[in-house]
């Protein structure tokens, strides 16, 4: 039984539910601890009573680690959320006392095949991380070499020491601002390989596929219909920057990283994910959580509920928006 944890607020509730469904389909035996960043999220998850999902109220985490709560007045909302990452991993290691390891997963991940290759790699070490592997070498240096979308820590001396170090760094500073040696909770990962000798950096090409490395892969599908990159199955995809960009338009923002969105990635990754998140947004509405966007953002910012949200009437998927013009419009609706 593997132990995972994540967190999200009401705006990301549909994404978190999509992540959960993908774990049920592909991970097998797991327990997922979810830090609920607001009351609406906690109420919705309690109503759903999903198997293998354990609720962690924010008040519980703050009571367990008062140093976290002390940072709240000094942080932006997103900065505070990011500060919670390492604190949550540490808390789950304590709460799930029999878990040999804890995996942290971002709420905007979706699994598309078995994590068995990932688990086999992690078996050789105490700490597991994966690199961005950007398609353009000059992209993202200020964001860090490694992506915090999935990290894992074994319950041993090095795993626990790394969690403590990460928590210490994030409590000291954690904002979504790129500086020379820090960026949110993410750039701190760069010191781990030099500090700990049991760090495993993922080599499987299907670990950490995301918009920043789409252009570096050859996409195909195997005989079972599983999407592959360079011949290896896509284990999970990181749907970062997916946004409701305009009325009825979902932007993948892949134009920031690649010259084109591969047809197979559009059809077999983005389209089913968007459909799933929209279904989960409709489910959230039945639980009293009404959202202007299923994806956690709306044009112009904010997350207030719209009276007749455009996503209920159909969505088109595009690569991005620039100066009010559509770029690389994909011709099919996704609903």
Residue 50: Cβ within 10 Å count: 16
Whole-angstrom Cα distance, residue 7 to residue 176?
A: 17
Phi, then psi, of 195 in degrees rounded to 5:
-100, -30
DSSP classification of residue 260: S
**3-state DSSP assignment of residue 34:** strand
Q: Is the pLDDT of residue 37 over 50?
A: yes
Can you tell me the mean pLDDT for 237-263? 83
* Residue 195 to residues 52, 145, 166, 186, 188, Cα–Cα distance (Å): 34, 16, 12, 16, 12
Matching residue, tokens 């709240």? 72
The residues facing 154 across adjacent strands are 101
**Mean of the per-residue pLDDT values of the chain:** 89
97-156, pLDDT tens digit by residue? 999 999 999 999 999 999 999 999 999 999 999 999 988 777 777 888 999 999 999 999
pTM of the model: 0.91
For the chain, what percent of residues have pLDDT higher than 90? 71
Nearest to 31 by CA among 76, 68, 66, 1: 1
């Amino acid at each position: 039984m593997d132990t995972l944890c994540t967190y999200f607020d009401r705006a990301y509730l549909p994404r978190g539910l999509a992540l959960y469904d993908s774990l049920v389909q592909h991970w097998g035996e797991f327990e997922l601890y979810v830090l609920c960043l607001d009351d609406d999220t906690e109420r919705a998850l309690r109503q759903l009573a999903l198997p293998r999902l354990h609720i962690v109220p924010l008040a519980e985490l703050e009571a367990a680690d008062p140093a976290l709560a002390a940072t709240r007045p000094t942080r932006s909302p997103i900065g505070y959320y990011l500060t919670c990452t390492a604190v949550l991993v540490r808390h789950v290691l304590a709460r799930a006392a029999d878990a040999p390891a804890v995996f942290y997963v971002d709420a905007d991940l979706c699994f598309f095949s078995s994590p068995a290759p990932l688990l086999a790699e992690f078996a050789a070490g105490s700490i597991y991380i994966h690199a961005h592997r950007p398609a353009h070498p000059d992209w993202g240096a200020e964001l860090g070499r490694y992506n915090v979308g999935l990290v894992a820590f074994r319950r041993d001396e090095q795993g626990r020491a790394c969690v403590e170090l990460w928590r210490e760094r994030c409590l000291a500073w954690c904002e979504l601002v790129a500086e020379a040696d820090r960026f949110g909770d993410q750039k701190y990962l760069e010191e781990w390989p030099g500090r700990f000798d049991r760090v495993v950096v993922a080599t499987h090409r299907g670990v950490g596929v995301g918009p920043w490395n789409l252009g570096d892969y050859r996409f195909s599908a195997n005989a079972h219909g599983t999407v592959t990159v360079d011949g290896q199955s896509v284990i999970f995809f990181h749907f970062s920057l997916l946004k409701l960009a305009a009325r009825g338009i979902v932007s993948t923002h892949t134009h920031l990283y690649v010259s084109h969105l591969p047809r197979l990635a559009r059809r077999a990754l983005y389209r089913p994910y968007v459909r799933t998140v929209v279904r989960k947004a409709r489910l959230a509405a039945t639980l009293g959580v009404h959202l202007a966007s299923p994806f956690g953002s709306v044009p112009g910012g904010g997350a207030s509920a719209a009276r007749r949200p455009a996503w209920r009437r159909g969505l088109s998927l595009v690569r991005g928006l620039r100066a009010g013009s559509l770029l690389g419009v994909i011709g099919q609706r996704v609903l």
